[in-house]
Structure 1
Amino acid sequence: MKLRLLDKKDLSLRVKWMNDVRIYSTMHFKPPILLENTIQWFDNNKNNNQRADFVLETLEGQVLTMSGLTSLDDDIKKMESYIFVDPDIKAKGLGKKTLFLQCLYAFEILKINKVYAYIDSDNYASQKLYENIGFKKEGVLRLETKRDDCFIDRFYYGCFSEDLDSDLFVYQVNYDSKEIIFL
């Protein structure tokens, strides 16, 4: 498997996944997500150095996950993480591999100081995923967001390069192509 940057050819699949209730129910965006708008978003962000969007794929080219890092401020050197896994193949460890590679990309290639995430208090799978990689729960944002007309808490998780459990997987970083491959 390898982590590579998102490409225009991935956008129709991205739209399909984002319109699946198993994805959008925990991601805080509302369908319908339209391909035309996603293409425009992609074109507008091609050269945006405050984000990096990824695909984890098999060596044969099957897309398994999509993820990304976004930043509001270049000076702080921290980026927010997001991940979504092909909804038909969830719970197979692909999120863990994606998050691990994404963090490596942030620390090794982008030279980011910290990766962080906001995770809903009832999203136990994501909390466990981030903790298993080395993220630490740093705070609680009380009644921060809504789901089904009810307010819920969100947790703030953070990870520095020294927190990342680099022994989880064997990998190779290709700095020229900006790809990371599992060995």
Structure 2
Amino acid sequence: MTNNLLKGSKIILTSFKEEYFKNFTKWYNDMPFLRNYDMIAAFPRSIDELKPMIDDVKKSSDKFIFAIKTLKDDKFIGVTGFEDILWNNGTAVIYIGIGEKQNRGLGIGTEAFNLTMEFGFEELNLHRIQLTVLSYNTPAIKLYEKLGFKREGVYREFIHRDNKRYDMYLYGILRTEWENLNNY
């Protein structure tokens, strides 16, 4: 158990605030970011389109969203959270998006995902956390496998991008696996 739930050495997970929409909208107009972050067609979205989406998450009982902020300069750099929580089964889908390219590959995603999983297993009492990832997103796949997620399935030729079909992988981690990796 941690004394600083949602706080790591580089980042902190906080509530998503109105002031973050400018950056969030910028990311939703960055096609390479969107092509890794979501399975739907990558198309630009305005603040007016994104606000209801975030409001829906905040009002929901089966979703959580956190803003990822740096401790050093208190800068909003990404989002993480859960969706599709099935409380009766203790399962949820986890997600993450680090917005600016210069913030990727620095260990921030690892720390943010660890904090999000800790929240899921320790605070929400989840039994299983899962995610999907496109086969061409190798940095994300490396992150998930490093954190103990196991590839459990393949949705063959799931998505069509750039005149080619790509698989989508299903990854999952159980609470006991996470506890063993984190010496609980």
* TM exceeding 0.5: yes
4+ residue segments displaced more than 6 Å? none
1:70-116 Cα offsets, whole Å, 9 max, x none, are: 01633222111221113232111111111111111111112221111
Q: Which letter maps to 2:98?
A: V
1:16 deviation in Å?
Answer: 1.0
| Alignment of 1:166 onto 2:175 | no
1:147 and 1:106, CA in 2 relative to 1: closer, same or farther beyond 3 A?
same
Select the residue among 22, 31, 37 that pairs with 1:21. Answer: 31
Structure holding more helix per residue? 2
| Alignment of 1:46 onto 2:68 | no
Structure 2: where are the runs of 5+ without partners?
A: 1-10
| 1:141–1:155 contact (8 Å) kept in structure 2 | yes
1:124 deviation in Å?
Answer: 1.1
- Cα RMSD, aligned residues only: 1.7
1:102-133 Cα offsets, whole Å, 9 max, x none, are: 11111111222111111111211111100111
Q: Distance in 1 between matches of 2:182 and 2:21?
A: 31
| Alignment of 1:146 onto 2:160 | yes
Q: Distance in 2 between matches of 1:70 and 1:11?
A: 20
Identity of aligned residues (%): 23
| Alignment of 1:4 onto 2:20 | no
Single out whichever of 128-137 and 58-67 deviates more from structure 2.
58-67
| 1:65–1:94 contact (8 Å) kept in structure 2 | no
- What is the correspondence of 1:61-140 to structure 2 with a 5 Å cutoff? 61-71=74-84, 73-87=86-100, 88-140=102-154
1:63 deviation in Å?
Answer: 1.5
Equivalent pairs counted in the alignment come to 167
